Structures are given as C-alpha cells and as structure tokens.
Amino acid sequence: DAGVIQSPRHEVTEMGQEVTLRCKPISGHDYLFWYRQTMMRGLELLIYFNNNVPIDDSGMPEDRFSAKMPNASFSTLKIQPSEPRDSAVYFCASSLYLPGREAFFGQGTRLTVV
Amino acid sequence: AQSVTQPDIHITVSEGASLELRCNYSYGATPYLFWYVQSPGQGLQLLLKYFSGDTLVQGIKGFEAEFKRSQSSFNLRKPSVHWSDAAEYFCAVGAPYNNAGNMLTFGGGTRLMVKP
C-alpha cells in the first residue's frame, strides 16, 4: 500500500491567494483527518470525515478554511484567502476503525504564506 | 475528554545510552495509547500501540512502552539509542468508543537529540 499521499509537499504563496491542499487516504480507510502542526500550537486536529461526511470541524480556525471529501479516495483542504499566520505543516491522516484507533499520516504539506 | 502530557520538551542522550520518554494521560477508563515518531521533514510514523492485555508492548526500531494504570503513564523506552533515533516523539491517547468526541489526542512532543 502506498500509504497516505499528500500533494504538494511544499507550497509557497502570496498573502490573499487561494491555496488547495490534497490528500489521498489509504484505500479502505473510513476516517480521514486533517491536522495542522506549528511550533507554537503543536499538532491540532482541524476536521475529520467518516465515510466522506464531515463529522467534526470544530478545529477549523476560521471561515477561510474549508475541507471537502467528494469521494472515498480524495480530500481537499482549502484556504481562501491565505494569510501569513496560516504558514504551517498540514497533515492528512486516515484510519480504518474508530477515530480513537491508530491513524496513518501522510508526509505533510509545508505551507508558507508570504 | 482525554488529554496527554509529555513533560520533557527536549532530551539529549549519548549514543548507546538508554532512553525513557515520559507520557502521562488523563482519561476515565483504559484508553488506547500510541507512540509516534516524526523525523525532520517527515510525517508521523506509528512506533507502537496499546489496546489491552500485556502492559509491556513492543514496537518497531527496538522501542517498547509500558502501560501503568496506577500512574496513568505510558513511557517509551529503548535500551540503546542510535544516532538515527534523533527525532520528535509524540504520545497519543484515543478513546475506545465510537462517537464524535473520541479523537486521537496528541501530546506536545519530545524532541530527542543524540550525542555521538
């Protein structure tokens, strides 16, 4: 299995631009999670899906952030408009079982907003 | 809701020395417990997990962890550290119930540095 695949690995964009991060979970996994990692706040859960349906988006910082999962093999996290404080590493993870079981992480997307 | 504390932000050990990384959790029952490792520029990789049964669990790369219910701890150990073990280590707790509140909760991480 190829694991969780994220793209791009690095993204540099100017403030105000739209940014779209992509994720392909492990085939057969029912749960998909988006995390953000920063030095100041550590690893934060932004949103998670179960069977393509958003279950909890309470971690999404602002309305500028949105996430979709149109099918079982693809999810996007969009930031519009982006701001410098959005600079972070964004991880996608997937899990086969309950949300409290182990999650498998992608390599992450390092986002820099200048 | 569960929580996880990793008291040590940074730890430095000499290559070949033993290692113990501390993890304390808060949860009303026996949780699922995990240790992940993150090498620079990489995602989080699962080292080991505890669900039930034997309280000493073995993981990859020679790591082990022991669940101590009385201390609400799940410390990670390795008898002899290698330079390639330098990374950040995250302890995580999950609740064994299927409802929206039971996410994996991560500790703040412990950055391990290995001296030659």
pLDDT at A113 over 80: yes
Q: How many Å apart are CA A92 and CA A108, to the nearest integer?
A: 7
**Per-residue confidence (pLDDT) for residue A14, from 0 to 100:** 97
Best of B39, B103, B105 to substitute, by most chain A Cβ atoms within 10 angstroms, is: B103
**Per-residue confidence (pLDDT) for residue B102, from 0 to 100:** 58
Q: How many Å apart are CA A63 and CA A47, to the nearest integer?
A: 13
Helix (H), strand (E) at residue B50:
strand B44-50
Lowest mean pLDDT among B28-32, B57-61, B64-68, B71-75: B28-32
Q: What is the 3-state secondary structure (H, E, C) of chain A?
A: CCCCEEECCEEEECCCCCEEEEEECCCCCCEEEEEEEECCCEEEEEEEEECCEEEECCCCCCCCEEEEEEECCEEEEEECCCCHHHCEEEEEEEECCCCCCCCEECCCEEEEEC
B111 CB near a chain A CB, below 8 Å? no
pLDDT at A34 over 80: yes
Q: How confident is the model at residue B101 (pLDDT cuts 50, 70, 90)?
A: low
Q: Is B85 exposed, middle or buried (0-12, 13-18, 19+ CB in 10 A)?
A: buried
Question: Which of residues B112 and B96 earns the better pLDDT score?
Answer: B112
Q: How many Å apart are CA B46 and CA B43, to the nearest integer?
A: 10
Dihedral angle sign, alpha carbons of residues A29, A80, A109, A38 = negative
Q: Which among B20, B8, B9, B12 has a CA at the least distance from the CA of B78?
A: B20
Residue in chain A closest to B46 (alpha carbons) equals: A104
Q: Write the pLDDT tens digit of every residue in B21-60.
A: 999 999 877 889 999 999 988 899 999 999 888 999 999 9
pLDDT at B73 over 70: yes
The answer to whether the Cβ–Cβ distance between B108 and A42 falls below 8 Å is: yes
Question: Which of residues B97 and A53 earns the better pLDDT score?
Answer: A53
Chain A residues whose CB is inside 8 A of the B52 CB are: none
Best of B32, B39, B44 to substitute, by most chain A Cβ atoms within 10 angstroms, is: B44
B98 CB near a chain A CB, below 8 Å? yes
